[in-house]
Amino acid sequence: MTRGSDGSEPAWKGLLSWGTLILVVFAGAFWFTIVKPEEIRMYPGEGLVPGTVANESEMMDLFSQKVLTDVDQMEPSRLMREGQTDDAIGAARDLINKDKWNVRNLMCAGNVFAAAPKENALNEEGYNLLLTSTYLCPQSKYVRLNYARALGRGGRFEEATKQYDKVVKANMDTLPSLELARLYMSNGDEDKAIKLLTAIMEKDPENSSAQKLLGIAGARNHDEKAGYEDYIKGFALERTAGYPLEARDLVDRNHDSVSDAIKEQRTTADAEPTEVEPKLLLVEMLIVQGDLTGAQSVLDAEKTKNKDNAELHRLYAELYHQSGKEEQAYQEWLTANTLEKQTE
């Protein structure tokens, strides 16, 4: 090899060594941030990077139900709900351009893009943004739950199931398990749903939502009579608490006053005249509280517009059961099951 007159290495060789070192560093960074598999990248801890959160309080919100509420109230989410798809997509794009490492921005924009019409060709980008949000905050069940829900809404059953499984295995509460059971049912796998719901009831015998869903799954699995009985048992459990589990946050927000929670839910239902879900929750709360007249008034007003809604007929079944009209109750139950089979 050729050396300098003083026996030292030529200068160009030193530069080459530094260049090689820089290339190795960049290659390593690319591997660990882009190429490396998901299961390896999901390291312990919050996984937060600069720009993700402004303060400790905001960081803690990422690990609570509040992050889902926050994302739902962001402008792109609101615009999407109101049917202003193009404006929602534009607002979501602005969020990402403003701060692509903000977990809420990723969740919100990801939800919007994933739900966009296929002709916009944004669905895959949406799912990638949501996946990135789980990388940045891997220990938050709510961030992952948001991703799982979007996959479920998009009909990506296998991917959604994997994400739900991760949430269920890492957390003790039953909400993700109930959503996974519903996902199984939407895919026609009632056996898995029944197995999961039975396990929930063994751990939490007072879980009214699991009990009712077990009844629905049983009926869909060709055991309509036993399913009806399980569903009725679920309502009996709700009366012990005084309200459905789905209304727990609503009651908490109203300082444990069920009557005030019902007033708030009625206001919400009236403010969304085209949406049936808020009205059905109101009906369920009224039935549990024994206001059968009020519950029937709401149901009757919705029956013409939503005659093919299976849940509406199930609520009629409980209403008639509470009124002692057992034959009418069971007929409504059968109607609900028939409607669900027609939509499969």
pLDDT tens per residue across span 11-44: 544 544 545 544 443 444 444 344 444 433 333 3
Last residue of a domain, one of 132, 157, 182: 157
Whether the Cβ atoms of residue 163 and residue 148 lie closer than 8 Å to each other:
yes
State the Cα–Cα distance between residues 280 and 184, nearest whole angstrom.
Answer: 23
- Say how many domains are in the chain: 2
Has residue 36 been placed in a domain?
A: no
In a domain, residue 127? The reply is: yes
Task: From 197, 206, 160, select the one nearest 178 (Cα to Cα).
Answer: 197
Whether 85 is covered by a domain: the verdict is: yes
Q: Is residue 104 part of a domain?
A: yes
Q: What pLDDT is attached to residue 246?
A: 86
Please say whether the beta carbons of 200 and 209 come within 8 A.
no
CATH code where residue 321 lies: 1.25.40.10
Residue 132 is classified by DSSP as H
In a domain, 211, yes or no: no
- Domain end residue (candidates: 104, 136, 157): 157
In a domain, 21, yes or no: no
Residue range 64-82: average pLDDT?
A: 91
Boundary (domain end) residue, out of 123, 141, 157 = 157
pLDDT of residue 33: 44
CB atoms under 10 Å from CB of 23, counted, come to 10
Residue pair 285/247 in contact (Cβ under 8 Å)? The answer is yes
168 in any annotated domain: no
- Separation between Cα atoms, residue 324 and residue 52, nearest integer Å: 56
Specify if 165 maps to a domain.
no
Q: Which of 2-6, 66-70, 226-230, 233-237 has the weakest average pLDDT?
A: 2-6
DSSP assignment, residue 118?
A: G
pTM over 0.75: no
pLDDT at 32: 39
Q: Decide: 314 and 231 in contact? Cβ < 8 Å.
A: yes
Q: pLDDT, tens digit, for every residue of 111-162? A: 999 999 998 899 999 999 999 999 988 888 899 999 999 999 999 999 999 9
Tell me which residue range forms the domain holding 281.
242-344
Q: How confident is the model at residue 56 (pLDDT cuts 50, 70, 90)?
A: low
pLDDT given for residue 150 in this prediction: 95
To the nearest 5 percent, what fractions of the chain are helix, strand and coil? 75, 0, 25
